[in-house]
Amino acid sequence: GQNEYTLTNAVGYFLSCFFSISFIVFLTSTQPFFLTDILGISNKIGNYIGTLTFADEILSIITSPLFGALSDKIGTRPITVFGLIIIGASFLTYTLAKNVYPDMLFLRLFFALGATACGSMITAMLTELTCSNFQLNNDNDEEEDIIINENDNYSINTSSSNITGNNDKDSNKRNGKLTSYVGIATGFGAIFSVVFFLTLPVKFGKHYPTGLALKYSYLTVGLIAIFVGIFLSFLLYKDNKKVGVNKKILQVLGNLNYFELLKMGFKAAKERKIALGYFGSFISRSSSIIIGSFLPLYVNDYFQREYDRNCSSISASTISIAGGNGDDNDYCRKAYVYSSMLIGISQLISLIVAPLFGILCDKFGRKNVMLVSSLFGFLGNFSISFIRKVEKNLVFLMVLVSFIGISHIGNIIGSMSLCTDKQRTFSGAISGVYTFCGGIGILIISKLGGYLSDHWIGSSFLILSVFNLLMVVLILI
């Protein structure tokens, strides 16, 4: 039969959300300084970062459906543990890199493999938790939809997944709150990374030169990742069904190759809910790139134009280590402080509204939550694209990045909940395609937005506002 889903499993799941994100934030935030401080490169930083991110996403897009499909065969636990250990190993080997191509490119792809394994399991594990009979809060009226799952016969399961109405309402009710916990875990993971991991180069910098300080930081975080992977292998849910009870389903899956499973994931989008979920993933991942990469670029662009200073390759770590070397640094420090502040506000607002959105999803339905958050996203992105003066409009910008933060988290919670509220035969394939759609969003916004930003800095924000508007239209028709 199916083994019980316990509190330990749930804790393991939320920890894996927390740490996966924290490692990703550490890597993406330190890459520019890896180029400048360790490899000593001073020009074309943006171009290199763009290419590395692009390669990372391409690999992620190809492998996420594969990991999703694989989890339908072997369960989610081994894939998550594998991912964390690969992330750790890639950080350790990063310290040996001597050049951008091939060293850094290869290591970034190695990292991306691990990050995708962890990332695509976040959605698949949420389905496990939702469809188990484990509850974080004991409400008796939420027991209904679980019973189907007790059955070892998968066909009952699958047919039940086509029945909407009561069963669906119950699982929705349960799932919005759960999904918001994922949002909170990942939000705290990002903040943890900024507070603990990203300050490591500064701490090591007190005793070692900058490049070495960054190397030691990578070693430290790498060891933490491997430790977390091993630790979580004891906590995460072990699905006995995947080990051999369900011979039939395994045979079915065994006969399906990668592309068949991909097709299954895409076919699931015939269900309008799933299609909206996929597009929500596309938008929320695009928003994360806007917040993480294009906001700093936007602030930096303003300081470059206003004061004729280039701060793109300067980070908190280099500023605090370098101290005040002349005039440049004050502007760069200011640019860094402004962009960190705007990113911070956006992330913080996402965190604060996550539990609220979870509750609203359960009360008013996920589509309505996604509708409201996409409207916020449209307003925020559209307005920012036409604002030029950062210092004058700082308060207004704070409000607008909050709007983007709201749209980001609302679309994550709504779309994840739409795709994970029931056990479907191909839940893993669905979570893989969900990640795949997010990856496509990142590719479009980082490549197209990056290219157009060189001509007009507001363009990436404008592109995202169009995506948000499209979501509003899709929900309304």
Confidence (pTM): 0.79
pLDDT tens-digit profile, the chain (477 residues): 467 899 999 999 999 999 999 999 889 878 877 887 889 887 776 678 778 888 999 999 989 888 888 888 788 999 999 999 999 999 999 999 999 999 999 999 999 999 999 999 999 999 989 988 887 765 443 333 332 233 333 222 222 233 233 334 444 445 899 999 999 999 899 889 888 998 888 889 889 888 898 999 999 999 999 999 999 999 999 987 765 434 555 555 556 666 777 788 899 999 999 999 999 999 999 998 888 878 877 887 888 788 776 665 554 444 444 444 445 556 766 776 787 788 888 988 999 999 999 999 999 999 999 999 999 999 999 999 999 898 899 999 999 999 999 999 999 999 999 999 888 878 888 998 999 999 999 988 888 887 788 788 899 999 999 999 999 999 998
When computed from its CA atoms, the radius of gyration of the chain, rounded to whole angstroms, is: 22
**pLDDT, position 271:** 92
- The angle at the Cα of 83, spanning 218 to 91, to the nearest 5 degrees, equals 15
Q: Which domains does the chain have, with CATH numbers?
A: 7-476 (1.20.1250.20)
Alpha-carbon distances, residue 401 vs 186, 281, 289, 291, 375 (angstroms): 19, 19, 13, 8, 13
How far apart CA 415 and CA 405 sit, in angstroms, is 15
Q: Per the structure block, which two tokens stand in for 53?
A: 């991110």
Whether 202 contacts 319, CB under 8 Å: no
Give dist(CA 302, CA 336) in Å, integer: 12
Q: Which helix (H) or strand (E) holds 473?
A: helix 459-476
423 within 8 A of 149, measured Cβ to Cβ: yes
- The residue type of 300 is N
The answer for residues whose C-beta is within 8 angstroms of residue 157's C-beta and 6 or more apart is 148, 149, 151, 423, 425
Contacts 24+ apart (CB under 8 A), 195-202: 197/22, 197/23, 197/25, 197/26, 197/221, 198/25, 198/26, 198/29, 198/30, 198/316, 198/317, 201/30, 201/33, 201/317, 201/321, 202/316, 202/317, 202/320, 202/321
> Can you give the pLDDT at residue 156?
24
Condensed to tens digits (0 to 9), the pLDDT of residues 63-83 reads: 988 888 888 878 899 999 999
Q: For position 261, what pLDDT does the model report?
A: 74
pLDDT of residue 337: 75
What is residue 163's predicted lDDT score, i.e. its pLDDT? 28
- Backbone φ and ψ of 181, nearest 5°: -65, -35
CB 218 within 8 A of CB 50: no
- The confidence score (pLDDT) of residue 90 equals 98
Instruction: Tell me phi and psi for residue 120, to 5 degrees.
Output: -75, -20
CB burial of 282-297 (b: ≥16 within 10 Å; e: otherwise) equals bbbbbbbbbbbbbbbb
Tell me the C-alpha distance between 396 and 416, whole Å. 30
Helices and strands counted in the chain (H then E):
20, 0
Q: Which two tokens stand for residue 104?
A: 């850094």
Query: What pLDDT shows up at residue 327?
Result: 53
Residue 477: predicted pLDDT: 87
